[in-house]
Chain A
Amino acid sequence: MNSATIRRLAWLLCSLPLVWMVWAALTSNLGGNPVETLEHETGRWALNFVVLSLAVTPIRTLLGLNAIASLRRTFGLFGFAYAFLHVLIYAVLDRGLLWSELLIDLTKRPYIILGTLAFLIALVLAATSPKFAVRKLGGLRWRRVHRLAYCLGPVAVAHFLWLKSGKNLWEQPALYAAVVAALLIWRVFHWLNKSRELSSQSRPSSA
């Protein structure tokens, strides 16, 4: 399978949760509190795609699957799309776009502050994702900006963890935290190895 086919397939699969949500909403199939269900589902999928996006490079490197390289962007953009719906549903359907309510939440609920921060990071990443943005920023600067993705993972997981901590429900957030930690730790080792290789190459081979 070439990379374009993989990308098209990924688009299709990544849209499925949204299709399901729309169908369930239209058929009153979201349980007793549909707004809450949509909030939870869009949030969960946003987080899933952030994690998937972070997993692309390690998997590509470890398995030598260069064809999946473009999925990092696909997953990232879907993560943003679900996060956008998440924020929209929260602000419009849940809080009725009442600024007073939204402000109270921002001051009262630490996890809302973390969620807002995560969304802002995702917004920067999504906004600088089109090709012309890459050209405008220049490769080096673009790469620096996109290191924010490594912050996004932990902040998004912290948002989820803090939400669940209210009822002492640690299992799910702990699982996400472990996966994100593993993906970031892999990068640290990968960079260390690369820089060691580089420095050994640059040493004059006098022997």
Chain B
Amino acid sequence: MNSKVRVKRSWDFVRQSEITPEEVFQSRRRLIKALGAGSVSESILASRWLSSGLAVGAGMAASPIAHAAFAGSTKIDELPSLSGRRSKWTVIDAPTPFDIAASYNNFYEFGTDKADPYRYAGSLKTHPWKVVVEGECNKPRTFDLDDLKKLAPMEERIYRFRCVEAWSMIVPWIGYPLSALLKAVEPNSKAKYVQFVSLADPKQMPGVKSKVLDWPYREGLRIDEANHELALLTFGQYGKVLPNQSGAPVRMVLPWKYGFKSAKSIVKIILTEKEPSTSWNMSAPREYGFYSNVNPNVDHPRWSQASERKLGEGSLGGLFAPRRKTEMFNGYADSVGWMYTNMDLKVFY
């Protein structure tokens, strides 16, 4: 990670182009050399996030997960690997260390504490897994996970990830555009929206017994958003299959929206004519709208969205990470802005 960024206590958002990942680049090169064998592209893919983890690791006394503070089980080396070709949809910021991305999650099906998913998601059975795709389409179909994985070529994309709670990460995901799946079921003319339904099994998910949300977790998109190339149907992260706590075995990733829009552990996808209900909107309609695009100019009723803390940045696991300015559509305005041109984003938040 760039030391300039760390030292500067500044309001200025450091643009990705200003971050010169020199040390990252160098350590990547060393790693590729060290790996020697294996196809070059694969090494590049793997090292892209690994090296940044090393760069950060050098500045940290120890990684949080390596300690016994957490009782969970998912370590990155225990996960089967998953590869995808490089994608143009990639930011060059150094990814958040896997330790942090895999131990700091909002996945209320496993509890409301950020470490609960890491502690308890080991009980989730991700195989066998089926995803039902139904509703306004000509070819409704139930996909077996293995078939779903083969539906389109996988890509690795490094996306920004901004939580509505004003923290953010940079995560390398692996998956393919949701549009490929939608194409396969042939949406009809009435298909205006897409709803995602997550698994809600109290036997596997201890958090589902609590009434913190109305289960199952539901999320939704307008059909043009769902077909946008950035909307990634995701099976892996950091070169491996998704760890359970990150929404295994299949989830959505929508980098221009707040994190909660990216439904995890999806079991059903429904094409609808009317705007589908979404869990957080049902829980607190004044606080969470259907769109929930990252927008520094529209505050959450209870806090400002103008800035964010990028987790794991700098020394001591991010203890002194400066606040950064949040960007419109999380920095993806050029790609997604057109979908919202005539909308008052203060009304459609």
Contacts and interface: CB of A to CB of B under 8 A. Distances in A.
B191 interface: no
Interface in B62-111: 62-64, 67, 69, 99-101, 103-104
Interface stretch (A78-86, A100-108, A147-155, A196-204): A100-108
Contacts of B302: 108-109, 166
B64 A28 contact: yes
Contact of B63 (A28, A95, A104, A168): A28
Contacts of A29: 62, 64, 67, 69, 317
A34 interface: yes
Interface in B287-331: 299, 301-304, 306-307, 309, 311-312, 316-323
Contacts of A35: 309, 318-319, 321
A104 B114 contact: no
Contacts, number: 89
A128 to B, nearest CB: 34
B12 to A, nearest CB: 12
B9 A96 contact: yes
Task: Please tell me the size bucket of the interface on B.
Answer: 35 or more
B316 to A, nearest CB: 6
A81 B317 CA distance: 25
A31 B299 contact: no
B115 A31 contact: yes
Contact of B317 (A34, A104, A168, A169): A34
Interface string B183-222: 0000000000000000000000000000110000000000
B167 interface: yes
B31 interface: no
B114 A32 contact: yes
Interface of A: 25-36, 38, 93-96, 98, 101, 104-105, 108-109, 166-169
20 contacts: A28-B60, A28-B316, A29-B67, A29-B69, A29-B317, A30-B317, A31-B64, A31-B115, A32-B101, A32-B114, A32-B311, A33-B318, A34-B319, A35-B321, A94-B309, A101-B304, A108-B299, A167-B212, A168-B211, A168-B212
Interface of B: 9, 11, 60-64, 67, 69, 99-101, 103-104, 112, 114-115, 167, 211-212, 283, 299, 301-304, 306-307, 309, 311-312, 316-323
